[in-house]
Structure 1
Amino acid sequence: MRLFLSGVRTQFWLVGRQPDDLLSLCTIPFTVVMMLSIVMHAARPDLVANAFLAPTLIGLWGFATGLAAEVLVGERWVRALELSMAAPSAMHSVYLGRITAVMALGVVPLGETWLLGKVLFGVTPAVHHLGVFWAAMAASVFAMTGTSLLLATFMLLSRNSHHYLNFLGFPIYVLSGVMVPVQYLPEFLRPLSHVIFLSWSADLMRDALAVAPVLNAGWRLLAVVALGAAALVAGRVLLAVALRRARELGTVTYA
């Protein structure tokens, strides 16, 4: 726990020293304007909730791929990864703490989206099931933390990892139904959405904004947490393998 908290403090300090790491927040207003403009001009107030949730979850994914996944790569470029590997204690908890700090900042797009919707369009969706909504948001941040650790390790292993992450963005947005619910996708694509935790998060948060009771909220929250935990375990194991391989080869550069 001490190493984990040390990683959290370190990452917040780095973000304070390098505020340009938060530039992804500058893309959120454009996404909000695009989504809400389409919905408002189409006279579809029933889709306002979708237009608010899409930038929020897209922003969460943006933090994961734009900053959290760069933690290990950044360590390598500044020649700090070698020092970490030589430390007497395993540094996995420190890296996880740093990634967790980044994903905690991933909640900011939620407030940014709500504020912009109110200021620019004069609308904000009502949250009828506040407890479910915030539970889903917390579960999503946890799941994205695990996913970020997995992505960070892949970036450490591959020279072309940025290309893969850039490719993943829009397929993830479509398959997870952050704007268009999964049930409207072609039938052969729907099973793929079940292994993407964002699809569970988006559906659950949409239901939390609706008046009707939220069905099976506990099981759906469990699905988000379970998928996040699976990614976290996979990332932790893969990171250990990657660092052990680097020690055996005597280098942390790309092969």
Structure 2
Amino acid sequence: MRLFLSGVRTQFWLMGRQPDDLLTLCTIPFTVVMLLSIVMHAARPDLVANAFLAPTLIGLWGFSTGLAAEVLLGERWNETLKLGMAAPGALHPVYLGRITAVMALGVVPLGETWLLGKLLFGVTPAVHHPWVFWAAMAASVFAMTGTSLLLATSMLMSKNSNHYLNFLSFPIYVLSGVMVPVHHLPEFLQPLSHFIFLSWSADLMRDSMAVAPVADIVWRLLAIVGLGVAALVGGRFVLAVGLRRARELGTVTYA
């Protein structure tokens, strides 16, 4: 726990000194304006909830690929990863703490989206089941933390990691149904969505904003958390393999 908290403090300190790391927040307004403009001008008030949720979940993923996944890569490029590897303590609690600090900011796009919707379009969707909504949001942040660790450790294996991260974004947005629900996708793609926690998050959060009772709340929350735990365990395993491989091949840095 001490190493984890040390990682959290370190990351908040780094973000305070490098505010450009938070540029993801600057892209959210454009996504909000685009999606809400389409929905409002099409006279589809039934899709307002979708247009609010999409930028929120896209922002959460943006923090993951834009900052959290680069925690380890930054260490490697700055040639400080080898210092951590030489330290007596374990590395994974420190990096998990740093990634958790980043993902704690994942709730900011939610507030940003609601504020912009009210100021620019004069609309905000009603949340009829708030505790379900916030439980799904908390589970999503947890799952995104585990996913970020898995992405970060996987990207550690390649010099061209940014290309892979950029490629992942839009397929994830489509398969997770952040704007268009999964059941509208071609049938052969729909099973893939079950392995992406954001698809469970988007569906559950949309249902929490509807008047009708929400079905299977516990099982759907467990699906989100379970996928997050699987990613967390996978990230821990890949980190151990990656660091061992770097030691054996002498490729701790890119120099």
Range into which the TM-score falls when normalised by the shorter chain: over 0.9
CA contact (8 A) 1:157 1:254 kept: no
Q: Which residue of 2 is the match for residue 242 of structure 1?
A: 242
Cα deviation code 1:155-181 (max 9, x no counterpart):
111112111111111110000000000
Q: Which moved more, 1:239-248 or 1:219-228?
A: 239-248
Q: Which residue of 2 is the match for residue 11 of structure 1?
A: 11
Q: Which residue of 1 is the match for residue 68 of structure 2?
A: 68
Q: Which residue of 2 is the match for residue 198 of structure 1?
A: 198
Counterpart secondary structure, 2:123: coil
CA contact (8 A) 1:64 1:144 kept: yes
CA contact (8 A) 1:69 1:152 kept: yes
CA contact (8 A) 2:11 2:102 kept: yes
In structure 2, how many angstroms separate the alpha carbons of the residues matched to 1:226 and 1:90?
Answer: 25
Cα deviation code 1:171-205 (max 9, x no counterpart):
10000000000011111110010000000000000
In structure 2, how many angstroms separate the alpha carbons of the residues matched to 1:250 and 1:158?
Answer: 14
In structure 2, how many angstroms separate the alpha carbons of the residues matched to 1:211 and 1:162?
Answer: 42
Q: Normalization by structure 1: what TM-score?
A: 0.98
Q: Which residue of 2 is the match for residue 115 of structure 1?
A: 115
The CA RMSD over aligned residues, in Å, is 1.0
CA contact (8 A) 2:79 2:253 kept: no
Is 1:106 aligned to residue 106 of structure 2?
Answer: yes
In structure 2, how many angstroms separate the alpha carbons of the residues matched to 1:12 and 1:132?
Answer: 29
Paired AA for residue 35 in structure 1: L
In structure 2, how many angstroms separate the alpha carbons of the residues matched to 1:130 and 1:24?
Answer: 26
Cα deviation code 1:120-167 (max 9, x no counterpart):
000000111010000000000000000000110111111121111111
Counterpart secondary structure, 1:106: helix
Q: Which ranges of structure 2 fall in alignment gaps of 5 or more residues?
A: none
Cα deviation code 1:106-129 (max 9, x no counterpart):
110000000000000000001110
In the alignment of these two chains, the number of paired residues is 255
Percent identity of equivalent pairs: 85
CA contact (8 A) 2:82 2:253 kept: no
Q: Normalization by structure 2: what TM-score?
A: 0.98
CA contact (8 A) 1:4 1:94 kept: yes
CA contact (8 A) 2:146 2:228 kept: yes
In structure 2, how many angstroms separate the alpha carbons of the residues matched to 1:4 and 1:48?
Answer: 39
CA contact (8 A) 2:28 2:109 kept: yes
Q: Which residue of 2 is the match for residue 80 of structure 1?
A: 80
